[in-house]
Amino acid sequence: MQMNDEVKAKVKVKDVLKEGFSVPGEIEKDISMIVCDSRDVKGGELFVAIKGEHFDGHDFIEDAIKKGAVAIVYELQRKRDERHWHDSLFIDKYPHIVWIGVEDCRDTIAAMSSKFYGSPSEEVTTIGITGTNGKTTTSYLIKSVMEKWGHNVGLIGTIAYLIKDKAYYASHTTPVAPVFQSLLREMANEGCSHVVAEVSSHSLSQRRVYYTGFKIAVFTNLTREHLDFHKTMENYFMAKTRLFTDLLSEGGTAIVNIDNPYGVTLVDILKRQRGNEIKILTLSIESNEANLVASNIKTTYKGTTFKVRFKGQTPVEQFGLFEEEIFSPLIGIFNVYNILSAISASLSLGIPIKTIKSGIATAELIKGRFEKVDLGQDFLAIVDYAHTDDALKGLLLTAHQLIGCHRLDKKLDNGMVDRRGKDGKIIIVFGCGGNRDKGKRSKMGEIATRLSDLAIITTDNPRDELPDEIIRDIEVGIEGDNYIVVPDRSVAINMAVELASDNDIVLVAGKGHEDYQEIKGIRYNFSDREVLEDAVRRRTKKSP
């Protein structure tokens, strides 16, 4: 994101300093941008040296100076044995640079970025969504409802960053602090009254979204994921809680799925720590004690219907009680939770239920989220982003509902069912990403083979790992023999299509909207949807 010239000319080093900073050097210097990657330095930037997972920004300080950085933020308390640069040597060597020594560079870059862009979250209503699964779908549903309400909405998420009719490539689910704040600023300048942001656990741990005031915070669920980064589920959960304990503004609303055990724990934490400072809205399919409860759920090829009962206090219904019929073109039980989250957020903003229902019913289908490939074939073909064991389970249970086997979820969970259904079979193609949490691989293998008729195990994004080793990790959890290994993902997808018969369901899981496959640091063009379309087209002898 690039700032316009008017803003660049107005911002000086002194404008972004936190209170209490004592900085040697010319703090009246103009700064063109705040960056944490020396490759982004073009001239006039303030460079923040951040130590990451693979690289340490302190190693690139001199490179940033030579490229034209005018100010450097560095950490004072770094251990000498970790220090690859010598602060006193560099400070003496480059006296024209403004040197800013701080305790925590991540916190500092977040604070400076908010100041640099004029605290944009004070000008828009910011809604943050966190959780393992469902963030993207929930964000698009909320956006649809608010647009029906007549408001301009910005969106920051996994698929793209959207500002009215403009779309930017999303490099991260939640970008680094300077980019996040620049997006909020542009959204405010473009007339967006609301911003919906997916907030990842990484971004909370690394303070990328700190110094942002969130008016609404949504917790979708928490299941095993990202343990390569967080190490334990407790660390993962505590990272998520920061959105609610640290960043949710006083008077704001926390929306929590209490069918997830971590949601129950989160509510307890918020009641203890935030008390009457915030409002809490709970949602559920299983508990009548929640504020929003879904019942009579029916899902078909055309979408999902259910009844939602609300009890509680919102700007629309003061301690009200109502029940409404909801329709959504989205398919599956897992999407009912996403819809409930969107309804809860909308109610807390004072949006009339009639508008909410219309926004839910007309929301566009989301790229790579239970996305159909329909070229007139006699079986259902689906691309989905499911890349965790819980998401894979939800995807397969939805397939069972659609295929008409009438199998109870409880029986499926306990393995008390013959996989082969009378109305067709379920074929799933999936793999696991390299350089990520290895513990979920065996779980995904077990779930995929238990809940499908045939699992075709293939590559996902191997990254720096050997595909065969990843596949062996998946096989550890498999007890049956209803699977085959096809390392080439394109071949695997084509094989699934060739094996499909009338009324079958072919699921291609793991990559969803992604248009690449990452192998040894190189991203090759690869789209599950395009490969699946080509395979179906060849089978049905249809031309593009």
pLDDT tens readout for residues 109-164:
999 999 999 999 999 999 999 999 999 999 999 999 999 999 999 999 989 999 98
How far is Cα 84 from Cα 58, in angstroms, rounded to an integer? 7
Residue 422's pLDDT band, with cuts at 50, 70 and 90, is low
Close Cβ partners of 339 (under 8 Å, ≥ 6 residues apart): 141, 294, 304, 326, 328, 330, 360
Q: Are strands 194-198 and 153-156 parallel, antiparallel or unpaired?
A: parallel
Q: Does domain 5-114 have CATH number 3.40.1390.10?
A: yes
CB 221 within 8 A of CB 260: yes
Strand arrangement of the beta sheet that strand 380-384 belongs to: 371-372, 380-384, 505-509, 426-430, 454-457, 483-485
Q: Are strands 214-219 and 33-35 parallel, antiparallel or unpaired?
A: unpaired
Q: What is the pLDDT of residue 19?
A: 74
How far is Cα 519 from Cα 452, in angstroms, rounded to an integer? 28
Q: What is the pLDDT of residue 403?
A: 85
* Residue 385 half-sphere exposure toward CB, CA atoms < 13 A: 17
Structure tokens at 429: 């193609």
Higher pLDDT, 486 or 54: 486
Q: Is 97 helix (H, G, I), strand (E, B) or coil?
A: coil
Task: Tell me the helix, strand and coil percentages in the chain, rounded to 5.
Answer: 40, 25, 40
Q: Phi, psi at residue 166, to the nearest 5°?
A: -105, 145
- Residue 214, beta-bridge partner list: 248
* pLDDT at position 68 over 90: yes
CA distances from 541 to 383, 528, 538 (A): 21, 19, 5
Superfamily for the 119-361 domain: Mur-like, catalytic domain (3.40.1190.10)
What residue spans define the domains of the chain?
Answer: 5-114, 119-361, 371-540
- Percentage of residues of the chain with pLDDT beyond 90: 76
- The amino acid that residue 355 corresponds to is T
Structure tokens at 168: 């930017």
Q: What is the pLDDT of residue 315?
A: 53
* pLDDT at position 240 over 50: yes
* pLDDT at position 438 over 50: yes
CB 239 within 8 A of CB 210: no
* pLDDT at position 1 over 50: no
How far is Cα 389 from Cα 381, in angstroms, rounded to an integer? 20
How far is Cα 111 from Cα 533, in angstroms, rounded to an integer? 46
Average pLDDT for 64-92: 76
Closest CA to 216 of 310, 125, 334, 295: 125
Q: What is the pLDDT of residues 313-345, one digit of tens each?
A: 655 454 467 789 999 999 989 999 999 999 999
Q: What is the pLDDT of residue 6?
A: 41
Average pLDDT for 11-39: 88
Average pLDDT for 37-44: 95
How far is Cα 127 from Cα 212, in angstroms, rounded to an integer? 10
Closest CA to 127 of 110, 150, 143: 143
Closest CA to 220 of 77, 79, 339: 339
pTM for the whole thing? 0.88
Q: Would you tell me which CATH number, out of the four given (3.40.50.720, 2.40.50.100, 1.10.357.10, 3.90.190.20), belongs to the domain 371-540?
A: 3.90.190.20
Q: What is the pLDDT of residue 404?
A: 65
Q: What is the pLDDT of residue 9?
A: 47
* pLDDT at position 522 over 70: yes
Average pLDDT for 293-309: 94
Residue 18's pLDDT band, with cuts at 50, 70 and 90, is confident
Domains 5-114 and 119-361 share a fold: no
Eight-state DSSP code of residue 405: -
Residue 50: count other Cβ atoms within 10 Å of its Cβ: 22
* pLDDT at position 542 over 80: no
How far is Cα 198 from Cα 188, in angstroms, rounded to an integer? 18
How far is Cα 129 from Cα 447, in angstroms, rounded to an integer? 27
* pLDDT at position 54 over 90: no
Residue 304's pLDDT band, with cuts at 50, 70 and 90, is very high
* pLDDT at position 544 over 60: no
Structure tokens at 428: 């799933």
* Residue 503 half-sphere exposure toward CB, CA atoms < 13 A: 12
Residue 228's pLDDT band, with cuts at 50, 70 and 90, is confident
Q: What is the pLDDT of residue 4?
A: 43
Which sign, positive or negative, has the C-alpha torsion 492, 495, 497, 502?
negative
Q: What is the pLDDT of residue 338?
A: 97
Average pLDDT for 367-373: 92
* pLDDT at position 3 over 50: no
Average pLDDT for 172-194: 94
* Residue 42 half-sphere exposure toward CB, CA atoms < 13 A: 5
Residue 23's pLDDT band, with cuts at 50, 70 and 90, is confident
* pLDDT at position 82 over 70: no
Residue 22's pLDDT band, with cuts at 50, 70 and 90, is low
* Strand ranges (E), 114-165: 125-130, 153-156, 160-163
Residue 477: count other Cβ atoms within 10 Å of its Cβ: 18
CB 477 within 8 A of CB 441: yes
